[in-house]
Amino acid sequence: MTDASERLRARLNPHRPAIAMSAHNALSAKLAAEAGFDAVWGSGFELSAAHAVPDASILSWETHLAAMRAMVEVQHAPVVADIDTGGGNAVSVAYLVPRYAAAGVAAVVMEDKTFPKDSSLRAEGRQELVRIEEFQGKIEAARIDGGPLVIARTEALIAGLGEAEALRRGAAYAEAGADAVLIHSKQKTPDEILSFCHAWPGRVPLVLVPTAYPRLSFAEVAALEKVGLIICGNHAIRAAVAAMRATFATILAEGGIAGVEDRIASVADIFALQGDSHMREVEARFLR
């Protein structure tokens, strides 16, 4: 197991859940770490959005893997990689996960939907789940060489299969070796998630992504004493889109750029985020 994986495992504390912020490139990952988040969520939704394509297994694995590697390289918070269904079957997973391990990710999150996937929060989306035994095999395949933590994500509630099925799947995935179980919901209130958490026997920590039910506070989650990680699932890309739209609209409306200067990052700030000072040190030492 990598150092990043060990650091993340130590932070999966149900009494004080770790908080991960989403990212879609190296810069957003660096900003998340700079802000003080415990981990970076390498979001498949955000990466797809950054390429202006649906979150439906459209981007290549090379594109996704390169993004995760770039996130790891520029900051020190553990990166949790969203690998959707892990590709086709357990064989795909067995070949894919070691590449993420080599890229330095701390954990992979894999969901029990069929490939190609559809976004969990998409209205009228295709939410078809694989057999429990098949997904157990995928979990075991992800663990064959150690490497990153494996977080098993069940979409039973998303697919409308109910709490009993979600609990059955979560327990089976923990039995297969998952380090944590992610339970997801698209209900606008946290009721079904809270019910699931209360019923969860606690063999491994849970992971929540409260996108659809944002009024559930981190303190309320910690009070459950069942959840080790809370993921802010898509807030980086949504913040970026809102800020860019506002800036672009102001520039066109005012016929110039002066009006936005006090609302956007300075060029000096961008240089700092790029590591310009380190490059200057290298220049001073080695350029002759």
In this structure, are 216 and 260 located in the same domain? no
Token pair in block for residue 118: 């559809």
In this structure, are 186 and 274 located in the same domain? no
In this structure, are 248 and 199 located in the same domain? no
In this structure, are 225 and 97 located in the same domain? yes
Angle among Cα 19, 36, 142 to the nearest 5 degrees reads 45
CB atoms within 10 A of CB 277: 10
In this structure, are 38 and 105 located in the same domain? yes
Structural domain containing residue 276: 241-286
5-36 burial code (b ≥16 CB/10 A, e <16): bebbbebbbbeebbbbbbbbbbbbbbbbbeee
In this structure, are 220 and 258 located in the same domain? no
Residues forming a β-bridge with 253? none
In this structure, are 223 and 162 located in the same domain? yes
Considering its fold, how many domains does the chain have in total?
2
In this structure, are 21 and 148 located in the same domain? yes
Catalytic residues, which ones? 55
User: What are the DSSP E strand ranges found in the chain?
Assistant: 18-23, 39-42, 79-82, 107-111, 149-154, 180-183, 206-208, 227-232
The answer to whether 40 and 33 have CB atoms below 8 angstroms apart is: yes
Residue 122's pLDDT is: 65
In this structure, are 163 and 264 located in the same domain? no
Residue 127's pLDDT is: 75
CB atoms within 10 A of CB 124: 6
Question: Please, is 238 exposed, middle or buried when counting C-beta atoms within 10 Å of its C-beta (0-12, 13-18, 19+)?
Answer: middle
In this structure, are 54 and 89 located in the same domain? yes
pLDDT means per 10 residues in the chain (288 residues)? Answer: 91 97 98 98 97 94 97 98 94 96 97 84 77 98 92 96 98 98 95 98 95 97 98 98 98 98 97 96 96
Please report, for the domain that includes residue 206, its CATH number: 3.20.20.60
Residue 118's pLDDT is: 72
Three-state DSSP class for residue 42: strand
In this structure, are 38 and 63 located in the same domain? yes
In this structure, are 228 and 250 located in the same domain? no
Residue 13's pLDDT is: 96
